[in-house]
Amino acid sequence: MTVRRPILALLLALALSAAALPAAASAKLKPCPSSGSGCTLARVAAETGIFVGTAISNQATATEKADITANFNAVTSENAFKWSEMSKTAGATDFTTTDRLVAWARAKKLRLRAHTLFWHRIQNAPWLKAELAASPNPSARLRQLIAERTAKVVGRYRGKVAIWDVINEPLALFGAGYDTEDSSVTPKNIFYTTLGESYIADAFGLAHKADPKAKLFLNELLWDSRIGDPKSDALLALVARLKKARVPIDGVGIQAHAMLGTSSPWFPSSTPSLKRYIDALGKLGVKVEITELDVRLPLLADQPNPLAAQAAVYRRVASACAQARACSGLTVWGQRDSYSWLDSYSLTSATAPNSPLLLDAGGKRKLAYQAVAAGLLERRR
Ligand code: G3I
């Protein structure tokens, strides 16, 4: 009977395709143990729904890229999207590095955080100050430059960048206001001194227009993200003002660089206080991500086991993210201890190697790696 042959062919095709399935695909992966042991952070991300990322440098080596794809499901551009990196002269934008990064992240199916459109303190456009000084109307000129950069850069990567750090560190480095005096460590916030706080709302509105689907974050360097800490409270108030003004802000990045003295109040003090702080931001209607976590090992040299103490700090932060529903991601600021910005930064290079990350210089997982896994897995319970 002719009808039988097609059915037989179909059954044969189905049998062959099932046999072709790789074993891993058919055997269901066992869930990670609550200790995180034996699980990559990418597996932990899949099981918890919390993105786990790392910063990728412009000069990322093949080894660093392999570390990233083996361990994480998200990346943040360490420098590529900064104004100084993209525009060495007024009116010119070089997309070479950012095009390469966006293409690589998409090819590797890594969620990309583009960091950052506007940061007054470091790596701002080197020509901006002179440009505004030469303009008869600096505020109009600055508004025009912010609009041009945002439309050009966000528009170019429409649909390809998941999160934009639209504004980085708007608040004063040490304090609750804005940098208004020019000093070597804390140059004035030229965006704020020229346009007032409105520059923040303008930048978010323009970014939303250029890519309505991208999530828009404000990223801040807090020393101890805690209600009652003046800078942390100032950030809460700023976000509340932006939300009240219906500014299209989707999230807040808490950088969480654990880089100053552990005795100072500026060190991730405890899981409950960080969780309470993330919850307070969440109540304002924004997502929260830990965006630049690293922990300077020399700060813990007086501990009986510095690597275990470092892991405990990482655990504190990861647990807080897992316990606070608004926390959607955790990013560490690098892969291996062989490269960290801390080893060349003026305030921390004296204690190099700072060994702040999750993989040692040889790429081996440190205690901190499993501590992050275990901390994030608290969400699964
Ligand atoms: O691009 C220039 C290059 O042209 C030049 O030849 C070279 C030598 O001087 O310098 C290169 O610029 C360096 C840049 O990184 C890109 O590699 C700067 O000197 C260097 O200072 C800059 O450091 C970056 C730092 O931000 C600037 O403050 C770090 O890599 C980066 O990890 C760090 O990241 C920041 C976040 O963006 C925001 N939060 C704080 C965090 C730490 O400062």
Banded pLDDT at 270 (limits 50, 70, 90): confident
What band does 185 get if pLDDT is binned at 50, 70 and 90?
Answer: confident
3-state secondary structure of 376: helix
Residues 86/102, Cβ–Cβ less than 8 Å: no
Residue corresponding to tokens 């708007």: 170
Q: Whose alpha carbon is nearest atom 21 of ligand 1? A: 345
The tally of CA atoms less than 13 A away on the side-chain side of residue 111 is: 20
Least confident of 4-18, 64-78, 91-105: 4-18
Would you place residue 183 in the very low, low, confident or very high pLDDT band (cuts 50, 70, 90)? confident
pLDDT > 80? residue 286: yes
**For the residues 229-237, what does the mean pLDDT come to?**
95
Ligand 1 in reach of 78 Cβ (< 6 A): yes
Residue 25's pLDDT is 41
Calculate ∠ Cα 268-270-276, nearest 5°: 100
Q: Are 249 and 292 in contact (CB under 8 A)?
A: no
**pLDDT tens per residue across span 76-113:** 999 999 999 999 999 899 999 999 999 999 999 999 99
Ligand 1 centroid – CA 284 distance (Å): 32
pLDDT given for residue 13 in this prediction: 52
Q: Is the dihedral of CA 169, 172, 178, 179 positive or negative?
A: negative
Q: Whose CA is nearest to atom 41 of ligand 1?
A: 292
Please give the pLDDT value at position 261: 73
**Sign of the CA dihedral running 108, 109, 110, 111:** positive
Residue 26 Cα to ligand 1 middle (Å): 45
Contact between 64 and 336 under an 8 Å Cβ cutoff? The reply is yes
**Residue range 65-69: mean pLDDT, rounded:** 98
CA distance 358 to 353: 14
- Distance (Å) from CA 122 to ligand 1 centroid: 8
Structure letter (DSSP) for residue 268: -
Cβ of 292 below 6 Å from ligand 1: yes
For residue 79, how far is its CA from the centre of ligand 1 (angstroms)? Answer: 6
pLDDT of residue 21: 40
DSSP conformation letters of 46-114: HHH--EEEEEE-TT--HHHHHHHHHH-SEEEESSTTSHHHH-SSTT----HHHHHHHHHHHHTT-EEEE
Neighbours of 275 (CB within 10 A): 21
Q: What stretches of the chain show up as alpha helix (H) in DSSP?
A: 4-20, 23-26, 41-48, 62-71, 83-86, 96-107, 128-133, 138-156, 190-195, 198-210, 230-244, 271-283, 306-323, 367-376
Question: Residue 148 — very low, low, confident or very high, per pLDDT cuts 50/70/90?
Answer: very high
Q: Which of 123, 186, 342, 346 to mutate to test the pocket of ligand 1 (most atoms within 8 A of CB)?
A: 123
Ligand 1 center–CA 46 separation, angstroms: 31
Ligand 1 atom index nearest CA of 221: 39
Going by pLDDT thresholds of 50, 70 and 90, the confidence category of residue 260 is confident
**What percent of the chain is predicted at pLDDT more than 70?**
91
Per-residue confidence (pLDDT) for residue 23, from 0 to 100: 40
Average pLDDT along the chain? 92
Percent of the chain with pLDDT over 90: 84
- The answer to whether the beta carbons of residues 54 and 359 sit under 8 Å apart is no
* pLDDT score of 18: 43
Tell which residue, 112, 116, 117, has the closest CA to residue 100.
Answer: 112
Ligand 1 pocket test: pick from 76, 98, 122 the residue with the most ligand atoms within 8 Å of its Cβ.
122
Nearest CA to ligand 1 atom 34: 78
Amino acid at site 179? D
Write the residue with the smallest CA distance to atom 33 of ligand 1.
341
Angle value at C-alpha 335, between 301 and 356, nearest 5 degrees: 15
β-sheet bridge partners, residue 257: 294
Residue 8 phi, psi (nearest 5): -60, -40
229 alpha carbon to ligand 1 midpoint, in Å?
28
Say yes or no to pLDDT of 17 above 60.
no
How far does the centroid of ligand 1 lie from the alpha carbon of residue 360, in Å? 22
pLDDT of residue 19: 42
Asked if residue 79 has its Cβ within 6 Å of ligand 1, the reply is yes
Q: Would you say 365 and 305 are in contact if contact means Cβ atoms under 8 Å apart?
A: no
Report DSSP state, residue 233: H
Q: What pTM did the predictor assign? A: 0.92
